[in-house]
Amino acid sequence: MLLKNKVIFLTGGTEGIGLECAKVYSAAGARLSIITNNEASIELAKAKLPKSEILFINADVSVAADMQQAITETVDHFGSLDVIHNNAGISNPSKAIHETTAEEWDKVFDINVKGIFNTTRFGIDELRKTKGNILNTSSLVGEIGQEIHAAYSATKGAVNALTKSMALDYAPYGIRVNAVAPAGVWTPMLRSWSQQQPDPLTIENYLDGIHALGYCPEGDVVADACLFLVSEQARFITGCILPVSGGAELGYRSVINPLNQLNQS
């Protein structure tokens, strides 16, 4: 029970990586406040999660008033706040920068980056009381870039820099700030992105191939890493951008790996 009685404010927690995090956090004893602006996804998540110790709030991370109210409602309901996990995010648009509209640019930054700004400024006083921590869901593309995904990559680069700066700012209060950086993970968002690519039929093989471990995983592998980072087992880790990437960042690989052939024979 690594998170027994800890109160976690989890944005984007009704599907994808967020839902997998909700499962492992709950199993570890946490009490959850799950934030989403997708009302329909709440009912789907309820069917997959425990019936108690979870508060669902319909709110938009990009709207300051929504986050202020959500933090207040969480603390009123549970009495405290130990962790903010900024997981909510969008991947659109899948375009080069010259094809991206101002509206698309603003929306992806409002959710992926401004969302962290909003939850932090309204939640930081509560985290000071508990010496809690903040976890941001980033992406490997924030370090290495990605073809025809400029705006999204820029937001994740911002999340990485923000994570490190926040870690320095809040260390004097005993508050840790970290991020996880997956490569490919099979989520509804990734499947939507896949259909926007020039050749969607090749995407599954492509995503398997970019990971040194040979496959594109489900969200549970990221959730397990998140559980570690928000728990006391990571009590001396802050400012870390943890790759959960199956080695995707390690460098070029040959198209035909003889060890893979050996394993398959």
- Answer yes or no: is pLDDT of 30 > 80: yes
What would the mean pLDDT of 129-138 be, rounded to a whole number?
98
Q: List the single range of 5-9, 45-49, 129-133, 187-191 with lowest mean pLDDT.
A: 187-191
At residue 215, the pLDDT reads 79
Q: How far is 178 from 166, CA to CA, in rounded Å?
A: 9
What would the mean pLDDT of 169-186 be, rounded to a whole number?
94
At residue 265, the pLDDT reads 43
What would the mean pLDDT of 121-144 be, rounded to a whole number?
97
Q: Tell which wins on pLDDT, 49 or 206.
A: 49
At residue 196, the pLDDT reads 61
Q: Tell which wins on pLDDT, 261 or 129.
A: 129
At residue 191, the pLDDT reads 64
68, part of any domain: yes
Q: List the single range of 96-100, 177-181, 212-216 with lowest mean pLDDT.
A: 212-216
264, part of any domain: no
At residue 72, the pLDDT reads 98
- Answer yes or no: is pLDDT of 175 > 80: yes
Catalytic residue among 25, 152, 170, 173: 152
The rounded percent of the chain whose pLDDT value lies above 90 is: 73
At residue 86, the pLDDT reads 98
97, part of any domain: yes
> Each residue of 231-244: pLDDT tens digit?
999 999 999 999 99
Two structure tokens written together for 102: 């101002």
> Each residue of 77-101: pLDDT tens digit?
999 999 999 999 998 898 999 999 9
What would the mean pLDDT of 167-191 be, rounded to a whole number?
89
- Answer yes or no: is pLDDT of 130 > 50: yes
What would the mean pLDDT of 28-36 be, rounded to a whole number?
98
Q: In the annotation, is 215 catalytic? A: no
What would the mean pLDDT of 71-77 be, rounded to a whole number?
98
Give the mean pLDDT of the chain.
Answer: 90
> Each residue of 250-261: pLDDT tens digit?
876 655 454 454
At residue 143, the pLDDT reads 93
CATH number for the domain that contains residue 177: 3.40.50.720
Integer-rounded Cα Rg, in Å, for the chain is: 18
At residue 185, the pLDDT reads 82
Give which of 47, 46, 54 is closest to 25, Cα–Cα: 54
Give which of 115, 237, 244 is closest to 176, Cα–Cα: 237
Q: For the residues of the chain, what is the DSSP string, one character each?
A: -TTTT-EEEEETTTSHHHHHHHHHHHHTT-EEEEEES-HHHHHHHHTTS-SSSEEEEE--TT-HHHHHHHHHHHHHHHS---EEEE--------S-GGG--HHHHHHHHHHHTHHHHHHHHHHHHHHHHHT-EEEEE--THHHH--TT-HHHHHHHHHHHHHHHHHHHHHGGGT-EEEEEEES--BSHHHHHHHHTSS-GGGHHHHHHHHSTTSS--BTHHHHHHHHHHHSGGGTT--S-EEEESTTTTS----SS-HHHHHHH-
> Each residue of 194-208: pLDDT tens digit?
666 566 556 777 777
191, part of any domain: yes
115, part of any domain: yes
For residue 237, the enclosing domain spans 7-248
134, part of any domain: yes
Q: How far is 108 from 125, CA to CA, in rounded Å?
A: 27
255, part of any domain: no
77, part of any domain: yes
What would the mean pLDDT of 7-19 be, rounded to a whole number?
96
- Answer yes or no: is pLDDT of 176 > 80: yes
Count of the separate structural domains present in the chain: 1
